[in-house]
Amino acid sequence: MPPTAPRAEAWPGLTSPHLSPLLPPAPPRPSAAPARAPPASRRPRRRQRPPPRRAWRHWAAAGAAGSCSLPRRGARSLNMAAAVARGGGASGCPTVPLANGRCIPVLGLGTSHQGGYSHDAVVHALRKCGIRHIDTAKRYGCESLLQKAIEESDVKREDLWITTKLWHSDYGYENTKKACLESCERLGVEYLDLYLIHWPDTHVPGKSNREVRAETWGAMEELYEKGLCRSIGVSNFLISHLEQLKEDCVITPHVNQVEYHPFQRPQELVDYCRSRNIVFEGYCPLAKGEALAHPSITQLAKKYGRTPAQICIRWSIQNGIVTIPKSTKAERIQENCKVFDFNLREEDTKLLDTVNINNKLIHLTYPLWKG
Ligand SMILES: NC(=O)c1ccc[n+]([C@@H]2O[C@H](COP(=O)([O-])OP(=O)(O)OC[C@H]3O[C@@H](n4cnc5c(N)ncnc54)[C@H](OP(=O)(O)O)[C@@H]3O)[C@@H](O)[C@H]2O)c1
């Protein structure tokens, strides 16, 4: 059957013809009670296709954003400069393969609310710094602004990796699908490279967090199967949340995006994610700027002739973490991208690995980490 015409009346405000083939069945009218997803336990369990052996060599041919240039395991020992020389993604940035064969650029540009967005800086990042990976969220309120910056940059959609996130006010089976389409519309894209559930806490009266997460993930799986989201994942999920999701759902998240910087190195979670083929993405790599004055970091900056920000970003990437520093300043973005032409020696990565043991942990964003 040919794709049906856009159902503008069913998806108010969503009129892009390019979205029409991907529109899921029309949702109930706003007054009607939203349809519930069948309980996850009653849905047939499908096995996720395992990645092929030595898959990162073959994933390049899988039509992902760029050719994968970093094996996920053992990334610490990799020479990134060599990885770039081998040919990274569209911008030359090394990429990390996800379990589904897509490749995420290991360095991205963060955006945020509360003064965390600058149009000129994003355009500069795309045009002059080779940034091809942008992290945003509905919560940050800058998806529409990003559409303008991407248009102005003239970078082709297929060369970009765009991640956005589902905010908890949109959790639930039907709401999730609608929110995804709305994010696509605001960003002016036909698909997302990665869609994340922003937080494990759900705030839905009368339902457990676990129940809402399972319903929401059911919708994420459907968005993935329809091609609207090329990869799906979670953010701020602890091992317990991922274990529950394993029991309740079918597709393993491709990514878990979590706070990761020298003061906050949740190694147990990193190891758990790796054991389940979930790529670990680290946010706040500069600890929101707080790491930049730490003596271990300033000493290393001096030793390598780099800036403290470059040391933090390089350390994170060398630990095999997809890393998304944010800056609203063109010159800082430029600085933050220059991290692929040097290697931290093993003793120095180890020194930074222990900063979080020797210092009081800083949990910038997620109170659950305190538990
Ligand atoms: N999933 C989640 O729950 C979650 C939570 C938080 C963040 N995130 C994502 O992670 C991204 C990064 O996190 P973040 O912005 O909170 O923290 P961050 O990247 O660790 O730090 C950003 C701060 O550092 C400053 N900065 C950036 N580059 C610098 C440099 N070279 N020298 C000195 N200062 C520099 C920035 O100021 P200027 O802007 O003034 O340069 C800003 O104040 C966010 O943008 C967002 O995309 C996700």
Supply the range of the domain harboring residue 231. 67-358
CATH number, residue 248: 3.20.20.100
318 vs 64: which has the higher pLDDT: 318
Residue 309 domain-assigned? yes
- pTM for this entry: 0.81
- The pLDDT-based confidence of 19 (bands split at 50, 70, 90) is very low
**Protein residue with its CA nearest to atom 25 in ligand 1:** 289
Backbone angles phi, psi at 122, to 5 degrees: -65, -45
Q: Which tens digit of pLDDT belongs to each residue from 84-101?
A: 334 343 357 999 999 999
Residue 17 domain-assigned? no
Query: Three-state SS across 164-218?
Result: EEECHHHCCHHHHHHHHHHHHHHHCCCCECEEEECCCCCCCCCCCHHHHHHHHHH
In the annotation, is 272 catalytic? no
34 Cα to the center of ligand 1, angstroms:
37
**Protein residue with its CA nearest to atom 27 in ligand 1:** 327
Residue 115 domain-assigned? yes
**Using an 8 Å Cβ cutoff, are 19 and 184 in contact?**
yes
Residue 42 domain-assigned? no
**Protein residue with its CA nearest to atom 22 in ligand 1:** 288
**pLDDT for position 358:** 53
Q: Is the pLDDT of residue 39 over 80?
A: no
Q: Which tens digit of pLDDT belongs to each residue from 220-262?
A: 999 999 999 999 999 999 999 999 999 999 999 999 999 999 9
Domain count along the chain: 1
Average pLDDT over residues 40-48: 47
Q: Which tens digit of pLDDT belongs to each residue from 160-177?
A: 999 999 999 999 999 999
Q: Ligand 1 within 6 A of 69 CB?
A: no
**pLDDT for position 363:** 61
CA distance 210 to 246: 11
112 Cα to the center of ligand 1, angstroms:
8
Longest Cα–Cα distance of the chain, Å, equals 64
Residue 134 domain-assigned? yes
Average pLDDT over residues 167-196: 98
Q: Is the pLDDT of residue 26 over 50?
A: no
Q: Is the pLDDT of residue 123 over 90?
A: yes
**Protein residue with its CA nearest to atom 39 in ligand 1:** 327
Set 140, 171, 260, 366: catalytic member: 140
Q: Ligand 1 within 6 A of 111 CB?
A: yes
Residue 44 domain-assigned? no
- The amino acid occupying position 326 is K
Residue 137 domain-assigned? yes
68 vs 339: which has the higher pLDDT: 339
Q: Which tens digit of pLDDT belongs to each residue from 286-338?
A: 999 999 999 999 999 999 999 999 999 999 999 999 999 999 999 999 999 99
Residue 165 domain-assigned? yes
Backbone angles phi, psi at 197, to 5 degrees: -75, 120
